[in-house]
Amino acid sequence: MNAQLPTTDKMKPVRPRDAASLVLIDNESAEPRILMGKRHAKMKFIPDAFVFPGGKLDPHDHVAEAATPLNADQSLSLTGAGNAKTKALAMAAVRETYEETGYLLAEQGDVGPTTGDTWNEFRDLGLAPALHHISFMARAITPRQSPIRFHARFFQAPKSALTGTLKGSGELTDLDWYPLSEALKLPIIDVTEFILTELKNAEKGYPRVSPPLYCYLNNKPRVLEPKPR
């Protein structure tokens, strides 16, 4: 069941804001389970829809240091950003996941001189993001007609790399590990359905050669497959 992205024809297109999500996968069961939560009904952007942990790129994410780097991979050239920004997006995905779920994708390390409440917590714990567990999945750009737009990058990581206990911050409700087949039946938007379908295809042995771009042309969804640089 799909929720609808807000659209309007009465305003000039707004510039998409950079965002990142972390798709966490539990492969210890017969069927993969995905961590998802439901956005509150009062939220302006896709209320009542189930989503992956994630959010907007924050200026502090550019300054924060990781315990381990992203794995060198041609797919990283398909994030629509340079190396430094791609790292910052991965850092944002880790930060947002901790804020929204309580889970840490981190190892012993120093986040450096960056500020912000969450990065200060990482510093106090003596931890920094372990980016080597992350791989890039896809990116998506909200329709031009939407009054709230995002250029979202989707990363994935295994549950086995996480530490901490699931404890929502209140931003997402009904946080849980949903079997992939059940996740596809939740109230989700088309982009989320696309990501879950990508996971389903990969499980069946049909992964994409390179991470796709989910976008909209003439307000209709379109999947593009850019080639690595």
3-class DSSP assignment, residue 106: strand
Element (H, E) at 38: strand 33-39
Please, which pLDDT band fits residue 10 given cuts at 50, 70 and 90? low
Average pLDDT score, the chain: 91
Q: Provide the pLDDT for residue 46.
A: 76
Give the pTM: 0.92
Please state, as a whole number, how many other Cβ atoms lie within 10 Å of the Cβ of residue 31: 12
Confidence band of 214 (pLDDT split at 50, 70, 90): very high
Task: Identify which of 2-6, 41-45, 65-69, 73-77 has the greatest average pLDDT.
Answer: 65-69
Angle, helix 83-101 to helix 117-125, in steps of 10 degrees: 80
**Confidence band, pLDDT 50/70/90 cuts, at residue 130:** very high
Average pLDDT score over residue span 202-215: 92
**What is the average per-residue pLDDT within 119-124?**
97
Q: Residues 182-196: what's their mean pLDDT?
A: 97
Look at residues 90, 52, 55, 91 and name the one whose alpha carbon lies nearest to residue 176.
52
pLDDT at 4 over 70: no
The top-scoring range by mean pLDDT among 11-15, 210-214, 217-221 is 210-214
